[in-house]
Structure 1
Amino acid sequence: MPAEDIEMTDAVLVAATSAEVVVANGKRKPSGAQIKKARKEALLTEEEIEKALEQTKHRVHRRKKNLHIHRCRFVDWTPSTITTLAFSHRGKGHGGIPQGLRLAVGRANGDIDIWNPKLEWVHETTLKGGENRSIEGLAWSTADPSSPPRLFSIGFSTYITEWDLQTGRAIANLDCSAGAIWSIVADPHSPQLVVGCDDGSIVVIDISGGPGVMEYARGLSKVEKGRVLSLAWKGKSQIVGGCSDSALRVWDLEAPQGQMRTKMKVETVAGAGATLVWAVKVLHDGTIVSGDSTGAVKFWDKHYSLKQSFRLHDADVLTLAENEAGNSVFSAGVDRKTICYRVVNPTLGKWADVASRRFHEHDVRAMASFDCKTKEFLVSAGVDRSIVVNSMSRFMQTNHRTLPAVGQKSVMAVARKARLMMTWTDRGVKVWKLHKLKTSREGKLAPIVTAPQDEAKLVLKMTFKNEENLIAGTISPDGRWIAVGTVNETKVFRLVPKKGGKSGYAVMKIDVPELKEQGVHLLSFAQTKGSGESEETQSTPRLLIVTPDNEIVGVDMLALEEGAGDAVEELERPPVPAPAPQVPVDGEIVRKMPTHTENISHITVSLDGSYFAIIDLAQNITIYSLSKWGSFIQLPRAPAPVTAATFRTGAKDVGPTFVITTADMKVLEYDLATASLTEWSRTQAPNLPEDFTILRDKCVGMFFDPADRRTCWLWGAAWLAHIKMHVEMPKPTMRPGQAKRKIDDEQESFHQPQPVTNGKLKRSKKKEAKSVNAQLLERRQDANGDVEMDDSNEGEVDGVVSREEREKPFWITYKYRPMLTVDALAPGEFVVVERPVFDMLESEVARFHRHEYGQ
């Protein structure tokens, strides 16, 4: 093999003869006998061999330009539809945003996502549901300031469920002794709930006993031949309900038998049956607002008389929202429109529809609102799985924000060595194998970017019969082990390639008694270094489990397979530093924070199997040693919630470091030897380009380039970027037109670097700034979408600035979206998995469309 045709990697083993240079890169590893024989018969001296090796390295590095990306869209993971939304606190127009404010998002598969609206919306945790446990209503109780907010849910059954946000488990279930529950509302003034049922019953639930305690209190007068579809509090003692018999009703809780106070009829459509009152709200002045199946929104005065009626929707109005001042109301439903109504004459109480917008691709099932002196949110969601955040006061003047349907937590894992990709759903696992990139006669990689079905093969599909939804899954780096878990159980499987030339894998379940009742919050495999002679014993796989109780458990997979009794070992966590004390905001009562705010949010393992990191929602970072089980390093607390993290190990110029990205889009690097920020992080992290710092979609994952440990790749749902962590970042500058970020598929941003010489930062001469179009032309993209790292520019004549020094320190593209995962398979070879929204909607019923004349 000619030396100039060899593709080099990081680990190179060379033996030379007069005719060839033998290179082992993990794929074509020569045996020790072959190497010994080659060196014995070599006609070259050791010095000549080393010289030939260095020349080969330089030739290959000059020729490797392309970054080859498998662009995959065959992964059929789809999140569940969103059915309901609820904020934990009521808005206060005169006060600031409560420190414990959260948004609960209920889904049709029984899951409840908990979002923190601070720092541009962070997904903190998910409470996992189960089979046939759809969430159809949510209610937070904050009436008792001495206890954290309590979350309750209903779901087309007779039961009310209270959730423990810390463990993710249901801590109490109460049968309301009536029909299936359709609606729920919490009393803002006292610890009680009211639910409306399928048989027309109204049931009051007492929750004053504290978390986990619910008791039947009383029943109100029953609706004959009708369901109670929606509920709202009016004052401190009245309940307004929207029913399925073309009427609204008002119940008085102070009445001895909970009698109905009044009944308000709504019109029906001929031939359509009874009108369903899907939504009802009560404003501060006593005005009642209703939305029904005729598409009408009605305003009723405090004396229960109809004031105004708007029929602007083309189909059912499913949800309503209002601002804290009570002068703005919003409606949405099946026709996807969101309509804003405002008071135009406060004296007469006159309302008008002032704006209409369309944010969603399918039915809008739910809306929730919150506003205070400093923040305001109008949140909507539905069948298209996307959460849309808008302003209420500037409904038409501001751009809305759509939180990606793929979320901020990846549901995929990649086994680099085995070239396997794994994804998990509520009750199943799928594994694909990516084919190797083809090489030409010259040894170059073929320009493959899109991975169609023939470039990746489904090699494993598993379906589980468990009732609970899967919480997490992982696959070992060598592709030999798979682990999945629910809130109550952990399952481990051994993957064995099928024999007889058949493709795919056979699955062998490993029985682990200690894990049968061990719930899971997070899972990850670590490939630690062993001391054996065989390939299996040279690397010892260890399964790391974070339990719902925030405990850490390690499982030695080889010991487990051999039946050893000490395969499972628990790790004792060090005391976690106490969070900062709460500060009252504008005289607000300091309430206890939600119980999950100190939960572990991330577990990250170094690729060399030396360390793993534990990060919690309180922003504490602890680094543990895998070789010395129990040893740890406590890093300084992160300045904001951490959204992604990775290790950098094996680099020649720096020791092991740990890199994080925070919710406010800051990148910090910690030196593990000193447990402090590195020089790059102290001096260059504040100068990250504005194209990165203004990103609103959080960083979901990050990793270091296998071909260059100085390049860190980061990705979110709609962007992919890299940062060179060995060069000086240019000082932030505002380019023309940068105030409004373009998100065209072809847009990319580039920043010229400051060169580095001998490991030290060196400033280059200022060059004339190029236009954005000129910068785009510097990047070449072929018809398949290959991303080619351009290095064709000539350097300075005197050779002071080398090719490596001219590499750009920051690069970003918005071409791939929305992404489920991004990872490196090998040097110069990445995989990007996308899941377009329209593919998610293929399985849904066609959205509402009203034919109009001429269209």
Structure 2
Amino acid sequence: MGEFKVHRVRFFDYMPSAIRAMAFNSRTERLALSRADGALEVFNFADSYFQEKVIPGQDGRAVEALCWVRGRLFSAGLNGEITEYDLENLRPKYTMEAYGGPVWTICSNSQGTHLAIGCEDGTVKIFEVLEETIRFQRNLDRQKGRIISLSWHPSGALIAAGMMDMIKVFNAESGHATHRLLVERGVGASKSREVVVWSVAFLSDHTIISGDSAGKVQVWDGVTGTLVRTHLVTKWDVLALSDESSLLAGTSEGTVVQFQFISSTVDQHDKEWVRTRTFKNHTHDVRALAHTDTAVVSGGMDTQLVVRPLLEKVEKNTQESALRKIAFPHRSLVSCGKKAGMLLFQFHGHLELWRLGESDGHGEEKHTCTLSETHGGCQRWQGDDHICCSALSPCGGWLAYSTISSVRLYRLQYNGSNISITKVAKLPKVLRSAHQLCFSSDSSKLFASTTHSSVIIIALSQSECKYLHTLRPKSGTRQPVHLMSASEDGKWLATANSDCEIHVYSLHKLKLHCTVPVYSSCPTAMAIHPTTSNLVMVHADQQIFEYSLVQKEYTEWSRKLQKQGLHHLWLARDTPITHLTFNPRNPAHIIMHDTYMFCIIDQNLPLPDQKTLFYNQMTLRSLPEPERTSHMKLQTMAYHMEHLLCVSLLEDHSLVVVERPLLDIASQLPAPVRQKKFAT
């Protein structure tokens, strides 16, 4: 399969933010989550849990709660504002002041006509959901303490509000409180501390379920206002509840406790809420929970999104029954200057530029980079908006990044080990913001994807930056571009959006060349072959296609691959391919990677059949020579690595492998709550 000199890079200190809130839209099967830095992410659970969209955060915007209303996404935060998001342009659509201090919670009625928010000043505010905005309607009776949690009864007539030491039930029409449910405090020393009702759930049979800071899950009769049952599930806080066919409670210990409405004994006909399972998939607080038809979704301080299938809802020993942990973004945060041996690392508030060095003979690589206008190779963005995308030109002479409000372009000049950086002062006015940025292979053009999947082309020169043209698809799509790839010969530009559309433009004629037949799964990586001009695409469901841009049809290799089918072990992988490239020394080699492995596909060799066994490199070397040779003649060769963020091929045919071990991330997390362990 060929040998490469490998630069193993572990100095990208990527640190994801904690998950603060979740909301699942069962109609579209989209999960929205917010992080501590204010960023929002949307996952398509119907398409292999692919991270479909990312809305960058903003300084001062702390999202405390999320809510879907008929495909529209709303958030509320401790800055006292309600925000609706534009999911087509990946930015806040508008922000409205709640005028009640910090907002702790937001929820909608089942009809999707009204929103309720809980405020620091003790008010529950009702907003009417209009076609393009929301409008304040009224306040419910003001209380003495802050409103921490809310849940709307499915009928829309009643609202339960969790507070300090109590739960209030309001009539949504009159605004008056109908019941006051007093929550017991803890025992011993904790009896003097107020109990925070972190979460409430109002069920259709008028049962109210609460989770509080004393570690209790309590079941209440919402008609009489009396306590039915108390479950002590932890010594710490119960931070989140989610109800559907069963009830879930997330705790500060990192556990998720499941309750089911069943008979507690075999001969008993009366049903009650019984604790049935405890899941331990987190190391820190579980701050957010969601319930799908078949799985429990949880997230918290340890930054990982965990999808835990409920085995009674799925077929056992299938891909659907496997536990999933999503720890890294499904898009690359690393840009590589292939000709200059430079790496650009994207953080939410700054960029880091590194130069690859030579090994000192002990396996350690020297990497030096000094920017004259920055400190330690770091360019910081001065502003509230976080960076949404960035790119480094192949020659290493240009650097560009974008926020939701502006695009910045810099000229880099090298003087030995020093680098000077100069901001390009005047950019074309049409270039306001971008979802994706990409340079041409000769670094003479900058491509910026903007609204409605259009692409702006900017010509770069030493003296000026000039607007050339805007490329637009004919499909009329309004979805944003999440992938962009330019060919090495400068003839083609391919874009992919979250409508699963892939458009290919001719850069010589500056118009749409063709549209690849739409496949049902979203593309996660694509690249144009430098010699054959074939577009290779990998999708979220792990399928691989090759499309001839000259013939405007799928290639013979692609048709053969789809006819025979990919190996079941390849399809069983739960992380998407995020980058692919080609080996110039062998045009038949396709190099691609996901989070846990990178592989080389040789198109000249036969495809492995379903009975073929795959071995790692250590096992392969231990096999007898004839057996090892037969395995080497198969088309796919995989190499297992440790949490890959990027694998790229430089101009000198060496590989750059950027890794971020999960243990390094875990070591930077705050200490979890102290737990008693056996024999300690």
**What are the equivalent positions in structure 2 for 1:407-446 lying under 5 Å apart?**
407-436=329-358
Given the alignment of the two structures, is residue 836 of structure 1 paired with residue 626 of structure 2, yes or no?
A: no
Give the superposition deviation at 1:662.
1.2
Q: How many residues are paired up?
A: 661
Give the aligned partner of residue 374 of structure 2.
none
**Cα distance, 1:410–1:490 mapped onto 2, change above 3 Å:** same
Deviations 1:512-557 (A, max 9, x none): 2425860111101112xxxxxxxxxxx4521100014432111111
**What are the equivalent positions in structure 2 for 1:598-613 lying under 5 Å apart?**
598-613=479-494
Deviations 1:243-274 (A, max 9, x none): 1x21111111122xx11111111121354410
Given the alignment of the two structures, is residue 481 of structure 1 paired with residue 398 of structure 2, yes or no?
A: yes
Pick one of 534, 544, 547 that aligns with 2:450: 547
- Counterpart contact for 2:454–2:473, Cα < 8 Å: no
Give the aligned partner of residue 638 of structure 2.
812
Pick one of 185, 205, 212 that aligns with 1:285: 205
Give the aligned partner of residue 541 of structure 2.
664
- Counterpart contact for 1:70–1:451, Cα < 8 Å: no
**Cα distance, 1:793–1:172 mapped onto 2, change above 3 Å:** closer
Question: For residues 845 and 402 of structure 1, what CA distance do their matches in structure 2 show?
Answer: 23
Give the superposition deviation at 1:635.
2.6
- Counterpart contact for 1:703–1:712, Cα < 8 Å: yes
Letter aligned with residue 292 of structure 1: D
**What are the equivalent positions in structure 2 for 1:310-389 lying under 5 Å apart?**
310-323=231-244, 325=245, 328-345=246-263, 347-371=269-293, 376-389=294-307
**Cα distance, 1:609–1:451 mapped onto 2, change above 3 Å:** farther
Give the superposition deviation at 1:807.
4.1
Give the aligned partner of residue 228 of structure 2.
307
SS at the partner of 1:136?
strand
**What are the equivalent positions in structure 2 for 1:449-460 lying under 5 Å apart?**
451=364, 454-455=366-367, 460=377
Give the aligned partner of residue 156 of structure 2.
236
Given the alignment of the two structures, is residue 570 of structure 1 paired with residue 469 of structure 2, yes or no?
A: yes
SS at the partner of 2:42?
strand
SS at the partner of 1:684?
helix
- Root-mean-square deviation (CA, aligned residues, Å) is 2.6
**Cα distance, 1:155–1:625 mapped onto 2, change above 3 Å:** same
Question: For residues 792 and 518 of structure 1, what CA distance do their matches in structure 2 show?
Answer: 58
SS at the partner of 1:183?
strand
**Cα distance, 1:458–1:275 mapped onto 2, change above 3 Å:** farther
**What are the equivalent positions in structure 2 for 1:148-187 lying under 5 Å apart?**
149-187=71-109
Question: For residues 793 and 200 of structure 1, what CA distance do their matches in structure 2 show?
Answer: 71
SS at the partner of 1:775?
helix
Letter aligned with residue 73 of structure 1: R
Question: For residues 643 and 218 of structure 1, what CA distance do their matches in structure 2 show?
Answer: 45
Question: For residues 777 and 455 of structure 1, what CA distance do their matches in structure 2 show?
Answer: 36
**Cα distance, 1:305–1:350 mapped onto 2, change above 3 Å:** same
Which one is further off, 339-348 or 478-487? 339-348
Question: For residues 127 and 13 of structure 2, what CA distance do their matches in structure 1 show?
Answer: 42
Give the aligned partner of residue 46 of structure 2.
118
- Counterpart contact for 2:404–2:434, Cα < 8 Å: yes
Give the aligned partner of residue 19 of structure 1.
none
4+ residue runs over 6 A deviation: 395-398, 790-795
- Counterpart contact for 1:487–1:548, Cα < 8 Å: no
Question: For residues 201 and 215 of structure 1, what CA distance do their matches in structure 2 show?
Answer: 16
Give the aligned partner of residue 15 of structure 2.
78
Question: For residues 134 and 451 of structure 1, what CA distance do their matches in structure 2 show?
Answer: 40
Pick one of 629, 641, 646 that aligns with 2:510: 629
What stretches of structure 1 of length at least 5 have no aligned partner? 1-63, 90-97, 143-148, 439-445, 528-538, 579-595, 739-746, 750-772, 780-789, 796-804
SS at the partner of 1:624?
strand
**What are the equivalent positions in structure 2 for 1:585-600 lying under 5 Å apart?**
598-600=479-481
Question: For residues 846 and 492 of structure 1, what CA distance do their matches in structure 2 show?
Answer: 40
Letter aligned with residue 117 of structure 2: V
**Cα distance, 1:846–1:141 mapped onto 2, change above 3 Å:** same
Give the superposition deviation at 1:189.
1.5
Letter aligned with residue 393 of structure 2: S
Higher relative contact order (CA 8 A, sep 6+): 1
- Counterpart contact for 2:452–2:476, Cα < 8 Å: no
Give the superposition deviation at 1:574.
3.5
- Counterpart contact for 1:489–1:515, Cα < 8 Å: no
Question: For residues 627 and 380 of structure 2, what CA distance do their matches in structure 1 show?
Answer: 50
Give the superposition deviation at 1:178.
1.4
Question: For residues 644 and 283 of structure 2, what CA distance do their matches in structure 1 show?
Answer: 19
Give the superposition deviation at 1:792.
12
Letter aligned with residue 318 of structure 1: L
SS at the partner of 2:665?
helix
- Counterpart contact for 2:208–2:220, Cα < 8 Å: yes
Given the two structures, how large is their TM-score scaled by the length of structure 2?
A: 0.91
Question: For residues 473 and 451 of structure 1, what CA distance do their matches in structure 2 show?
Answer: 28
Given the two structures, how large is their TM-score scaled by the length of structure 1?
A: 0.73
SS at the partner of 1:67?
coil
Question: For residues 635 and 700 of structure 1, what CA distance do their matches in structure 2 show?
Answer: 19
Letter aligned with residue 341 of structure 2: R
Give the superposition deviation at 1:853.
7.3
- Counterpart contact for 1:314–1:850, Cα < 8 Å: no
**What are the equivalent positions in structure 2 for 1:456-467 lying under 5 Å apart?**
460-467=377-384
Letter aligned with residue 326 of structure 2: P
Q: Which structure: larger Rg?
A: 1
- Counterpart contact for 2:107–2:151, Cα < 8 Å: yes
Question: For residues 526 and 619 of structure 2, what CA distance do their matches in structure 1 show?
Answer: 34
**Cα distance, 1:615–1:829 mapped onto 2, change above 3 Å:** same
SS at the partner of 2:13?
coil
Letter aligned with residue 86 of structure 1: A
- Counterpart contact for 2:287–2:299, Cα < 8 Å: yes
Question: For residues 623 and 726 of structure 1, what CA distance do their matches in structure 2 show?
Answer: 26
Pick one of 162, 166, 169 that aligns with 1:250: 169
Question: For residues 627 and 323 of structure 2, what CA distance do their matches in structure 1 show?
Answer: 39
Given the alignment of the two structures, is residue 188 of structure 1 paired with residue 13 of structure 2, yes or no?
A: no
Deviations 1:291-345 (A, max 9, x none): 111111111123322111111213111101222x3xx211112100111122332
Question: For residues 355 and 384 of structure 1, what CA distance do their matches in structure 2 show?
Answer: 21
